Chains A and B, each alone.
Chain A
Amino acid sequence: MNRTVRMGPQARREERYFYLFISPWLIGFLVFFLGPIIASLFFSLSIYDVINPPRWSGLANYKGLFADRLFWQSLKVTSLYSVGSVALGIVASLAIALLLNRNIHGVAWFRTIFYLPSVISGVAVSLLWMWIFNPDFGILNYLLWTIFRIRGPTWIYSEQWVLPSLIIMSLWGMGGGIVIYLASLQGIPTDLYEAAEIDGAGSWSKLTKITLPMMSPVMFFQLIMGIIGSFQVFTQAYVMTDGGPHYASLFYVLHLYRHAFKYFRMGYASALAWILFLILLGLTVLVFKSAALWVYYEK
């Protein structure tokens, strides 16, 4: 191309504009990302209560953290929730997307309904579900009784049921996944199915041999995003249960928040943040390694 011929001053001008245009992000990267990362590493190795300057304490925070019963409790709570909400979320949203993908009338309406809950989030939705889960006057226990004659549990007020409750609530908001699966289902070339039908394939083998392999890259991505999201749950735990009853919903980030902004143990909380990063990194690497076994990529 003749462009490469007249490079030189022109190319240098282009490069200058490139750096000028990305400068907002570059400054933000230094001030709100790189700087804080270095500071956070340093804080995690010191004792820091915000009022007095940080004092170097070596690995004391990390050692203290592993000896803390509540750290392990928060890890257990978060992991159980993550497994439950991510696994059920992927299966359920894929199933609903398959139902929606059958070329029936009114798909757009159903899609709108399923997606609606995921546009509303946060405190208002947490309050709504507190009321739904209300053991005495909530709609959930009433429906369980009138339809199935089951006496419902006390949901978020019960140590055994608080996590299942929050998982149910998370399934209500899984519409984003449905939309993504539906979009990629519609992207599967129909000639694959036609060829399979000629070969005499039934619905089940079309699902397991064509649909699921073709969907696996999207499921892979959803799995990673789901794990990362579920490990950062905060609002529900803070608003609905405040970590209770008896630490049964002490989510990792709630534990971190309390140390940072309630007890002002910034060093300890920074150590918690880095452990969270390592856990998420480890899980992501693990999922990536597993991808060779179950994710199908077109050549």
Chain B
Amino acid sequence: MEFVWTKTRRRIALDTTDYILLILLSMIILIPVFWMLSTALKSDSEVFLFPPVWIPAKLHWNNFKRALTFLPFVRYFLNTSTITFLAMVGQFLSSPLVAYAFARLRARGKDALFILLLSTMMLPTQVTMIPTFILFKELGWVDTFAPLILPNFFGSAYFIFLLRQFFSTISPELSDAATIDGCGYFGIFTRIILPLSKPALATMAIFTFMWNWNDFMSPLIYLSSTEKWTLTLGLSRFRGMYGMTAWNLLMAASLVTLLPCITLFFFAQRYFIQGIVITGVKG
């Protein structure tokens, strides 16, 4: 029988090409991740075999222990956790309340202030970075965690914007009903708005976590004593200390640093996606 490009056959051919392309691209994306894990489990000499081995002859789980004990990694882990946790507390206490006021309360000058809030996102942080450093230096807070934590207690324009967009979608009738029941503005905020905004709050929590956990420039600028370093700072110095050769240990340490982010991603994927879609499309 003669081969004819029917609609179904065309559809099957296109779908197959699509799958092949997507699988190839997925492999390109995943190879670096696999390579990191494979290197982390190699013996010191296996790292420098050529051609490289994909799966080590023996899995050297011991590398993780070696990597974590050479530097005070536990200390760095605790430091990073402390900073990240307090930064999250700060964002929770400030951004939602500000966003609620912008979304619901009426006041003169509100629109102008909101434009001002949005315009602060336009300025590159490098402009304010130097005077802020001088400010913390004058306060004697350089080489403490304060410069990394404190700014979070004043809200972030990005989250205020994200939450305001979300709060605006909550039906005003609900808060009207609460007003009749004798709820004040703060009561409406804590009893009606917050419980209905769990997805948006989760998005904020995740992004605050990620940004603070992975931040490099601020710890680099502010933290000088070794015992106060964060994971990212420790990792960047690890290279110099262990020499350029211990790639298995470097990859093991990197994996440990990334682990919380990867775990969080797999458990809370939809909040990640929601966050970037809300701010990306509607921004």
A-side contacts of B15, CB under 8 Å: 102, 104
Given contacts A96-B25, A132-B35, A172-B32, contact A180 B135 (CB under 8 A): no
Given contacts A15-B107, A50-B134, A114-B29, contact A99 B22 (CB under 8 A): yes
Query: What sequence of 0s and 1s flags, for each residue 119-154 of chain B, a beta carbon within 8 Å of any chain A beta carbon?
Result: 010111111111111110100000000000001011
Q: How far is the CB of A133 from chain B (nearest CB, A)?
A: 11
B169 an interface residue at 8 Å Cβ cutoff?
no
Contact in complex: A127, B235 (CB < 8 Å): yes
A17 an interface residue at 8 Å Cβ cutoff?
yes
- Describe B's contact surface by its main secondary structure: helix
Contact in complex: A24, B98 (CB < 8 Å): yes
A57 an interface residue at 8 Å Cβ cutoff?
no
The distance in angstroms between the C-alpha atoms of A113 and B52, with both chains bound, is 24
The distance in angstroms between the C-alpha atoms of A146 and B189, with both chains bound, is 61
A-side contacts of B127, CB under 8 Å: 36-37, 40, 270, 273-274, 276-277
Given contacts A113-B30, A269-B130, A277-B124, contact A119 B272 (CB under 8 A): yes
A-side contacts of B66, CB under 8 Å: none
* Count of A-B contacts judged by CB separation below 8 Å: 260
In this complex, what residue of A is CB-closest to B48? A137
> How extensive is the interface on chain A, given as a class?
35 or more
List 27 interface pairs A-B (beta carbons < 8 Å), by A numbering.
Answer: A14-B105, A14-B106, A18-B106, A25-B94, A28-B94, A29-B117, A32-B151, A32-B154, A36-B132, A39-B134, A40-B130, A96-B22, A99-B18, A99-B25, A104-B15, A116-B33, A117-B32, A119-B272, A122-B214, A123-B233, A127-B254, A131-B39, A137-B49, A137-B247, A142-B52, A231-B124, A272-B126
Q: What residues of chain A have their CB less than 8 Å away from a CB belonging to chain B?
A: 11, 14-15, 17-19, 21-22, 24-29, 31-33, 35-37, 39-40, 43, 50, 96, 99-100, 102, 104, 110-117, 119-125, 127-129, 131-132, 134, 136-137, 139, 142-143, 146, 172, 176, 179-180, 183-184, 187, 218, 221-222, 225, 228, 231-232, 234-235, 238-239, 253, 256-257, 260-261, 266, 269-270, 272-274, 276-277, 280-281, 284
